[in-house]
Structure 1
Amino acid sequence: MTEATPTNGSDEYRPPICDIDSLTPKALTFVISLVGLTGNASVIWFLGFRMHRNAFYTYILNLAVADFLYLCFHMVNVLKEVISVISTIHSPTYGIITSGKIIFYIAGLSMLGAISTERCLSVMWPIWYHCHRPRHTSAVICTLLWALSLVLGILEAVFCLYFYITEGLCKIVEFTIAAWLVLLFVVLSVSSLALLGRMLRGSQKKLLNRLFVTIMLTVLVFLSSGLPFCVYFFLYYWINNSYHVFYCLFLVSSVLSCVNSSANPIIYFFVGSYRQRVQRWNLKLVLKQALQDTPWEGEIGGSLSQGTLEMSGSRVEQG
């Protein structure tokens, strides 16, 4: 009884929103995920079936797929937790949901790093990029990134969730995932800073176009909303602390990661419709304008020809 008193006393001062049965963060996650699913589904529909894909379109499509599936697992997790609160039914799906979220979080960050890196290469070395870049590079890179994300997620599920044998194997897997996430963060930061520095140079201000703004806003949203989940992942497996502290951190990072996965379609709509006089709400046209690689000054009255709407990547890779 004397040992249980401090624990119970500390639980009384835990913030109500951090309680495991609190429905507030679950409802917020559900609403944000629902909005994000609608937006990412629209992007997948237009880029996958209604528009001719090129180098950057392929990356954006795969990023939308990763965000869509990540939000799907979040919604399933919320529904599972709500059912567990109001019912005593036990469903052994925790490992599947956790592994799925890890897989698609890694895939989304990997696609974002690839987008920023390839855009940086196209700006820093434009001649090589347009003349010597291999065909179908985007498709090959996306396939490799999906395969790596699946392998890391499956290994994490096997050695840390379902078939836990030794702590050493689990730590190796977690260290590999953490190292890959850190590497992606470094690549994303370096390439984004290089793009920003090149654009701020007086002779390179013409690089300020809708594609540049779209990429920079996407990176900025990730650093503010998606990065906390990566920090939580590292702290949870490598630093011993109170369970309730980590649960509060998990709730905050989980909601922010949903914001990150839901924000990209909103960014596309904002950038694509800015300073444009569109007669009707044409989502396909707005998406094209958000990903175009022409300077802001080249736009006249919001009426753009098909040639100016296509990115320079279409000269490098078809499909």
Structure 2
Amino acid sequence: MAHGRCIRRYFKRLLLKKKMVFNDTNTTYFNETNYFDEHHVPDIVIHYTIAAAVAMGICLFGIVGNIIVFWYLFFRIQRNKYTVYIVNLAVADLLLLTFSAVLMMVNINTLVGSTPEFEGTVGFLTFLEIMYDLSQYSGMYFLTAISMERCMSVLFPLWYHNHRPKKLSTIMCICLWILGCTESLIENLICPSEDFRNQTQACTGVEIMTFALSIFICLPLMILSSVTLLIAIKRTFRNRYPPRLYIIIIAAIFIFILSVIPFNFLWFLMYFRRLPSIQDTLSLYFASIISVALSSTANPYIYFIVGRLWKQKSNHSIHDALHRAFKAEEDEKEDIKISEEEKTSPNSGETNSTSCNSDQTHDNNT
């Protein structure tokens, strides 16, 4: 998460001076950094421009999907405890993709534009960094919260159904937005570019805090909840199809871990001067932007695909797909029923099989 802000500052500081580097390889700046090779600069600029354009295309594709999800879940489908998280996650992904696209436009202007510096550049880039980090942190927290809540409903279905506060989802979303905003402001205001470059104690503490929150708190919780849901799917798959919400959570977490988490280690390498050249830094920067955009873009299409699973009708609508994807109340009641049967019956397998057969007979009669 912090890597995006840190690399963008390197990008801004170095590429805004590209003309000086290109025209005079003997300048003090080039001698101190030894970043660019004079013969490879044009190719590098072209490659980075193409990468920025690809990232913009992915962002636009994801913006459309998240707008559709937000529209249907907020206005057309009755909300439940899980869709509240999904709506907020869609908003966070939408903000992230929007500001990523704007950031790529600024980067393209920096690379090939005639006026890379414009009035208010510093303030505008700081605003982009704050909003980018806010949406990214909040999205990570929403994904962690919904996975843990579903995990609790699987582990303790009776307690969860009877004692869960009705407004818990709303309260949690408000708190997570505040947490993401606070973390973004602290990271961007307490650790500006100069402090980051000089590795001040305050900046080091901020970087360690953001890294610990994502790697040592959110990541283990996501993995734990995913393993729990996989076990639940294996337990119930013999008798009925697994709840679609389980698959959505597991798929979203899997994509997030593969595409986003590895780049969180980049801040460590860059902060402690472990990246050998600016080519490596900027390549990883664009790779991280594209990966984050892919993760945020994939979420709405996961909802659409999973919502259409195990449905034999050929005519599908987005409304029906999303409604089936997040229809969790019946799944919770079924989990509670199975839990009670396992406690009361010594032959839980026979009981579950009988229950499944009776349900199928009832569906046929209906």
Instruction: State the TM-score, normalizing by the size of structure 1.
Output: 0.83
Whether the 8 Å contact between 1:229 and 1:254 is mirrored in structure 2 is no
Encode CA deviations 1:108-129: one digit per residue, 9 max, x unaligned.
1111111110010000100011
The equivalent position to 2:283 in structure 1, one of 245, 248, 252, is: 248
Greater mean alpha carbon deviation, residues 112-121 or residues 218-227: 218-227
Structure 2: which amino acid aligns with 1:57?
T
Report the secondary structure of 2:191's partner residue: helix
Alignment partner, residue 115 of structure 1? 146
Tell me, in whole angstroms, the C-alpha distance in 2 between the residues paired with 1:108 and 1:136: 20
Tell me, in whole angstroms, the C-alpha distance in 2 between the residues paired with 1:223 and 1:285: 29
Whether the 8 Å contact between 1:43 and 1:265 is mirrored in structure 2 is yes
Greater mean alpha carbon deviation, residues 80-89 or residues 216-225: 80-89
Alignment partner, residue 314 of structure 1? none
Which structure 2 residues correspond to residues 17-96 of structure 1 after superposition, within 5 A?
A: 19=45, 22-84=48-110, 85-88=112-115, 89-90=117-118, 91-92=121-122, 93-96=124-127
Report the secondary structure of 1:118's partner residue: helix
Encode CA deviations 1:53-73: one digit per residue, 9 max, x unaligned.
111000101110100000011
**Are residues 1:228 and 2:254 paired?**
no
Structure 1: which amino acid aligns with 2:102?
V
Q: 1:207 to 1:146 in 2, by over 3 A?
A: farther
Alignment partner, residue 260 of structure 1? 295
Deviation at 1:216?
1.2
What root-mean-square deviation, in Å, do the aligned CA atoms of Structure 1 and Structure 2 show? 3.1
Report the secondary structure of 2:260's partner residue: helix
Tell me, in whole angstroms, the C-alpha distance in 1 between the residues paired with 2:223 and 2:239: 20
Structure 1: which amino acid aligns with 2:147?
S
Alignment partner, residue 270 of structure 1? 305
Instruction: State the TM-score, normalizing by the size of structure 2.
Output: 0.73
The answer for unaligned runs of 5 or more in structure 1 is 304-319
Tell me, in whole angstroms, the C-alpha distance in 1 between the residues paired with 2:125 and 2:145: 30
Alignment partner, residue 200 of structure 1? 234
Whether the 8 Å contact between 1:56 and 1:115 is mirrored in structure 2 is yes
Greater mean alpha carbon deviation, residues 252-261 or residues 160-169: 160-169
Deviation at 1:230?
2.3
Alignment partner, residue 248 of structure 2? 214
Alignment partner, residue 271 of structure 2? 237
Tell me, in whole angstroms, the C-alpha distance in 1 between the residues paired with 2:37 and 2:78: 58
Which structure 2 residues correspond to residues 65-214 of structure 1 after superposition, within 5 A?
A: 65-84=91-110, 85-88=112-115, 89-90=117-118, 91-92=121-122, 93-161=124-192, 164=195, 167-182=200-215, 183-201=217-235, 206=240, 208-214=242-248
Q: 1:174 to 1:7 in 2, by over 3 A?
A: closer
The answer for unaligned runs of 5 or more in structure 2 is 1-25, 332-355
Greater mean alpha carbon deviation, residues 19-28 or residues 254-263: 19-28
Whether the 8 Å contact between 2:308 and 2:316 is mirrored in structure 1 is no
Whether the 8 Å contact between 1:47 and 1:61 is mirrored in structure 2 is yes
Tell me, in whole angstroms, the C-alpha distance in 2 between the residues paired with 1:198 and 1:280: 31
